[in-house]
A and B are shown apart, each in its own frame.
Chain A
Amino acid sequence: DTEVTQTPKHLVMGMTNKKSLKCEQHMGHRAMYWYKQKAKKPPELMFVYSYEKLSINESVPSRFSPECPNSSLLNLHLHALQPEDSALYLCASSRGTGGWNTEAFFGQGTRLTVV
């Protein structure tokens, strides 16, 4: 099973709302990632968790707040977003973050629209 499950598939939120994106994997992977993807662009790395600890934060604004409750779950809490934050948010996981362990499997994404 190489499945990464993301919920919800679609989300529309106002700029004053608070919402959360969820991601789950049961492959025993110890690294999990959040990416943001704009139309016709490659995914952009936002955060990396390795062994449930935040190891990389690519200078993401504080209105995005990641959380890794356990090795199978990854959340992204959203608050006070701007319309330009509208994008496809992708979760991925890999065995680890070292060298050849970066074989990453992606979920189907959450299509986020900020109004």
Chain B
Amino acid sequence: GENVEQHPSTLSVQEGDSAVIKCTYSDSASNYFPWYKQELGKGPQLIIDIRSNVGEKKDQRIAVTLNKTAKHFSLHITETQPEDSAVYFCAASTSFGSNYQLIWGAGTKLIIKP
């Protein structure tokens, strides 16, 4: 079955610097890759996603890249701000019979140092 690995588990960066979180997946049939941000005590919030027919997508300070050949995708946050501190999860959508499910990475705790 699908397996999603996420690295690093903790990332500490200086405010204003960039942060990169990487995920690899095992099922070459996976076709949808969302990223979620989860703040303490809240539910996961979808911040950006990418579909398998696209290599890169940007939304202001956030970008996601997908390398289907290598089966990995990455989240890039530029000009980090204190409010970017949170746990970030990657996921991959894979089929189970007639349904698709999200398989989640283990999460990355991002700490923005002032």
Query: Taking beta carbons and an 8 Å cutoff, which residues of A are in contact with B?
Result: 4, 6, 40-43, 45, 48, 50, 55-56, 88, 90, 97-109, 111
Chain B binding surface, main DSSP class? strand
- A-B contacts besides A106-B43, A111-B41, 7 pairs, CB < 8 Å: A4-B43, A40-B107, A98-B98, A98-B99, A102-B100, A103-B46, A106-B46
- The verdict on B68 contacting chain A, using a C-beta distance below 8 Å, is no
Closest chain A residue, CB of each to CB of B90: A42
Are B31's CB and A100's CB within 8 A?
yes
Decide yes or no: A103 and B49 within 8 Å by CB, A45-B101, A90-B43 being known contacts: yes
In-complex Cβ contact of B32 among A40, A56, A99, A111 (8 A): A99
- The verdict on B44 contacting chain A, using a C-beta distance below 8 Å, is yes
Closest chain A residue, CB of each to CB of B42: A108
Query: Taking beta carbons and an 8 Å cutoff, which residues of B are in contact with A?
Result: 31-32, 34, 36, 41-46, 49, 51, 89, 93, 95-96, 98-102, 104-107
Are B44's CB and A102's CB within 8 A?
no
Q: How far is the CB of B2 from chain A (nearest CB, A)?
A: 12
Decide yes or no: A109 and B31 within 8 Å by CB, A42-B106, A42-B107, A104-B102 being known contacts: no
